[in-house]
């Protein structure tokens, strides 16, 4: 009886508070809100809050360059470079970052040519270190990002300033978090997962405990609309119509390599020894619906940095899913998949990406790029 009376009293109090609340209506077009949230986000160079000792440190700066396209034209691109590594100011994607699960990561970021950010897509750090300017700040001249690599998997990092344009301009790269444990199998030295306890079951047929792999293929699919590459840093941010609602790609690439040569370029051809496990990491950096097919059976073992696992001792994870050869895998914008090919047989295997319009789903003209795995 007393418990029921308490519940009734709380309900009555809540109802009274709701009835007496004052609602302040404000139009969506409020100039102050639009100016600070959309048009001119807060720019600052604060000290890193709660800064602790790091295990990984690197630096990133903003670079721009002209890229020769396959038809002979030149387009302007932007990206991230590492001032400590010669040759890192090269065409997109920007350099891959790899850290170990559990490591504390610091990145000293010094943008140029205006404010920028680095968003660690899928990592989920604190708001100050997430690199989304609208919810924290945009880096004016210098900031050191800090986060912990909690979950092994495949991620992206990219600029979140005027995001749609800056991503298209090439300001992104792949971020990989590797498990802590190294495989004892010297022929397959790397792990996809942290291994389970000894005696635990395999993940799925052909996927041994911990998933050690001997070869890795990282494939980033992208498309390019040359009209967008004539725009400037802040174009489209303040309500001006610069055509960002229209995307008509003319070029289709993998790892910055144009279609037509992706089946022979070393950046898009993975060579391995027959009988080894192969891990394929796919990322869609295009603004198209990407339809991917393989010429060999594979298992989907990770989606957006989250593993697909079966061992109940580690929790109720989704199971790895078989992707039969020739079966279409649709990869959304900024989505990542990891595919597992166990003990690959001798042969050449194509990985084909078809680019489809994001609304009509119609395939773009010339919208195909093909990578290869060669097992000898």
- pLDDT tens digits, one per residue of 266-286: 999 999 999 999 999 999 999
158 and 196: one domain?
A: no
Whole-Å CA distances, 275 to 23, 290, 308, 341? 67, 29, 23, 10
Both 375 and 271 in a single domain? yes
**312 in a domain, yes or no?**
yes
Tell me, yes or no, whether 1 lies in a domain: no
Give CA–CA dist 374/376, Å, rounded: 6
Residue 74 belongs to domain spanning: 30-178
Please count the structural domains in the chain. 2
Is position 16 within any domain? no
Tokens of 140: 């004016």
Q: Out of 139, 154, 178, pick the residue that ends a domain.
A: 178
Q: Residue 166 falls within a domain, yes or no?
A: yes
Q: Does some domain include residue 165? A: yes
The string of pLDDT tens digits covering residues 212-224 is 899 999 999 999 9
How do residues 331-356 score in pLDDT, each as one tens digit?
Answer: 999 999 999 999 999 999 999 999 99
The β-bridge relationship of strands 347-356 and 289-294 is antiparallel
Cis peptide before 93 (omega within 30 of 0): yes
Same domain, 205 and 136: no
Please tell me whether residues 137 and 206 are part of one structural domain: no
Pair (166, 200) in one structural domain: no
211 pLDDT tier (thresholds 50, 70, 90): confident
The total of other beta-carbon atoms located within 10 Å of residue 374's CB is 15
In a domain, 278, yes or no: yes
Whether residue 351 is found in the same domain as residue 213: yes
pTM (two decimals): 0.88
| Residue 256 lies inside a defined structural domain of this protein | yes
- Mark whether 274 and 331 lie in a shared domain: yes
Q: Using 50, 70 and 90 to split pLDDT, how confident is the model at 88?
A: low
At 6, the pLDDT band (50, 70, 90 cuts) reads: very low
Task: Name the pLDDT band for 112 (thresholds 50, 70, 90).
Answer: confident
Q: Classify each residue of 23-50 as buried b or exposed e, where b means 16 or more C-beta atoms within 10 Å of its C-beta.
A: eeeeeeeeeeeeeeeeeebeeeeeeeee
Residue 20 tokens read as: 């007496």
Q: Which residue has the higher pLDDT, 1 or 324?
A: 324
351's tokens: 């990985």
Any idea of the CA torsion for 272, 274, 278, 283, to the nearest 10 degrees? 60
Q: Render pLDDT for 18-72 as a digit per residue (tens, 0 to 9).
A: 344 444 444 445 555 555 556 778 899 999 999 999 999 999 999 888 999 999 9
Same domain, 173 and 197: no
DSSP 83: T
CATH code, domain with 149: 2.60.40.420
**One domain, residues 266 and 225:** yes
């Amino acid at each position: 009886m007393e418990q029921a009376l308490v519940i009734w009293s709380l309900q009555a109090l809540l109802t009274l508070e709701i009835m007496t609340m004052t609602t302040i209506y404000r139009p969506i077009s409020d100039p102050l809100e639009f100016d600070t949230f959309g048009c001119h986000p807060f720019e600052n160079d604060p000290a890193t809050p709660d800064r602790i000792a790091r295990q990984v440190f690197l630096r990133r700066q903003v670079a721009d360059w002209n890229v020769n396209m396959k038809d002979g034209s030149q387009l302007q691109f932007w990206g991230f470079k590492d001032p400590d590594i010669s040759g890192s100011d090269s065409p997109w994607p920007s350099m891959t970052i790899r850290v170990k699960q559990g490591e504390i990561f610091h990145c000293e970021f010094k943008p140029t040519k205006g404010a920028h950010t680095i968003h660690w897509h899928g990592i989920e750090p604190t708001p100050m270190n997430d690199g989304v300017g609208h919810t924290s700040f945009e880096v004016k001249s210098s900031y050191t990002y800090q986060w912990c690599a909690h979950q092994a998997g495949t991620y992206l990092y990219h600029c979140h300033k005027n995001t749609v344009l800056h991503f298209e301009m090439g300001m992104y790269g792949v971020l990989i978090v590797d498990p802590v444990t190294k495989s004892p199998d010297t022929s397959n030295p790397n792990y996809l997962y942290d291994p389970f306890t000894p005696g635990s079951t395999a993940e799925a047929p052909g996927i041994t405990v911990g998933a050690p792999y001997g070869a890795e293929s990282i494939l980033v699919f992208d498309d390019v609309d040359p009209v967008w590459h004539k725009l400037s840093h802040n174009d489209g941010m303040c309500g001006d119509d610069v055509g960002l609602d229209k995307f008509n790609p003319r070029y289709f690439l993998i790892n910055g390599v144009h279609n037509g040569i992706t089946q022979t370029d070393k950046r898009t051809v993975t060579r391995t020894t027959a009988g080894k496990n192969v891990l394929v990491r796919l990322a869609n950096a295009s603004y198209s619906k990407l339809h991917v097919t393989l010429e060999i059976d594979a298992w989907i073992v990770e989606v957006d940095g989250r593993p697909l696992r079966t061992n109940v001792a580690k929790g109720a994870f989704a199971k790895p899913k078989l992707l039969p050869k020739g079966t279409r895998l649709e990869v959304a914008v900024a989505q990542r998949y990891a595919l597992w090919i166990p003990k690959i047989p001798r042969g050449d295997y194509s990985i084909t990406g078809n680019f489809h319009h994001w609304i009509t789903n119609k395939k773009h003209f010339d919208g195909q790029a093909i990578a290869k795995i060669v097992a000898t």
